[in-house]
Amino acid sequence: MKRKLLWKLLLGNIIPVIAVIVLLVWLFVDRLAADYFASLMKQYHIDPIDSHRMFLTAIHRYLISASLVALALAFILNYLMTRKLLRPLFQMTAITRQIASGNYTERADVVTSDEVGELAQSFNLMAESLEKLEKLRKNMVADMAHELRTPLTNLRGCLEALADGVVPVSRETFATLEKETLRLVRLVEDLQQLARADAAKAFLHRESLSLHEQLRQIVELYRFNLQEKGVQVTWQLEPGTETVYADRDKLLQAIRNLVDNAWKYSRPQGTVVISTKLTAEGVRTELANQGEGIDQASLPFIFERFFRAERSRSRQVGGAGIGLAIVKELIEAHGGQLGAESDQEWTRVWFTLPGRAPSLPKL
């Protein structure tokens, strides 16, 4: 491995220091020590010229020898110290190559608490994030393949059965074909909405609008679904939370996905509680539904794309694990925050939005 930085640090630290020391000692000997030696020779009636020359020659010889020894010792000590200092950097370089080749498990050793140690800690956090992203990417690809394969397999089997005359042409057959086709259409539409949510930050048309009105509007759209399941909606809207500063269409989409999620995963004859309150970050909106809950290990990942806490249950209700990911992108595009809590009976998903437009700086 090329260690150009190591040699640069060694040469840059040792040579200037040794050169300055040798120059100062040399000048000191030639000016002060030599003059003092000459005065001593005169005091004892010794010829100062020859003695002065011999003195300088001997001193210069010893000075050169001592400088070479000092340079060698300084080089060795500085090499050992600099090598120890740069070891995490060399290690991070090797780990970076392994990450580039697909190995995300390696971590750098944090042996100091200085800037290099902080860099190693930050590097390890980055490696952990990349490892999580890689796992999510693999799961996303596998889930997407499964979501596409299942309806396509059903469509293919049904069409082959129709072609072979095994299944008669009937209303039920066309209903099955339509169901699987709509399943594919919903998946494609979800992916399209997710792509639009990714770019939402650059296309926000914010305005002051009624949060309560948007919430009631979406709940009204799901009134039939909620009544069919026997789910009751309870409102806990705190005064002073009527207005938020957001993009109307993006906010409606986020609320729609949250209400859809709460309805799907509520138990029959359960309750959905929609509440708002003022916080330091703005207006907090929370949707809580009674259901089976989400295990704590899965909770941090529910806003990731294609993640489902219970895959079989999600497929039964028609979810592909994209709805909450869209909510995350839309809320963060507004500069808001979101999170989730869950226990054995309740699951709560919340988000915050600014209650008013940011004030302009005074000139």
Least confident of 32-46, 47-61, 321-335: 32-46
With pLDDT > 70 as the criterion, what percentage of the chain qualifies?
72
Count the domains in the chain: 3
Residues 227 and 331 reside in one and the same domain: yes
260 token code pair: 């859809």
The CB-side HSE value for 209 (13 A sphere, CA atoms) comes to: 16
Asked whether residue 60 falls in the same domain as residue 158, the answer is no
pLDDT value at position 184? 82
Cβ partners under 8 Å of residue 273, min gap 6: 233, 234, 236, 286, 287, 288, 289
How are beta strands 232-237 and 271-279 bridged, if at all? parallel
β 232-237/337-342 pair status: unpaired
- The pLDDT, as a whole number, for residue 92 is 82
Residue 233 belongs to domain spanning: 205-353
55 plus 142 within the same structural domain? no
Instruction: Tell me the per-residue pLDDT of 272-307, one tens digit each, with 9 for 90 and over.
Output: 999 999 998 899 999 999 988 888 888 888 887 767
In this structure, are 231 and 335 located in the same domain? Answer: yes
**43 with 35: CB under 8 angstroms?**
no
In sequence order, what are the residues at sequence separation of 6 or more whose Cβ sits closer than 8 angstroms to the Cβ of residue 48?
38, 41, 42
232-261 pLDDT, tens digit per residue, is 999 999 998 999 999 898 899 899 999 998
Residue 40 has a pLDDT of 60
Least confident window among 8-12, 83-87, 92-96: 8-12
Per-residue pLDDT band for 362 (boundaries 50, 70, 90) equals: very low
Residue 71 lies in a domain: yes
Residue for token pair 């800037």: 115
Tens of pLDDT, residue by residue over 127-180, are 888 887 787 777 667 767 766 777 788 788 888 888 888 878 888 878 878 888
Q: Does 223 or 108 have the greater pLDDT score? A: 223
Same domain, 93 and 229: no
pLDDT digits (tens, 9 = 90+) for 107-133: 877 766 767 778 888 888 888 888 877
Helix (H, G, I), strand (E, B) or coil at 285: strand
| CATH code, 318 | 3.30.565.10
Query: What is the tens place of the pLDDT at every residue in 19-46?
Result: 667 666 666 666 656 566 666 666 655 5
- Do residues 141 and 236 both lie within one domain? no
Asked whether residue 222 falls in the same domain as residue 340, the answer is yes
**Are 66 and 152 in the same domain?**
no
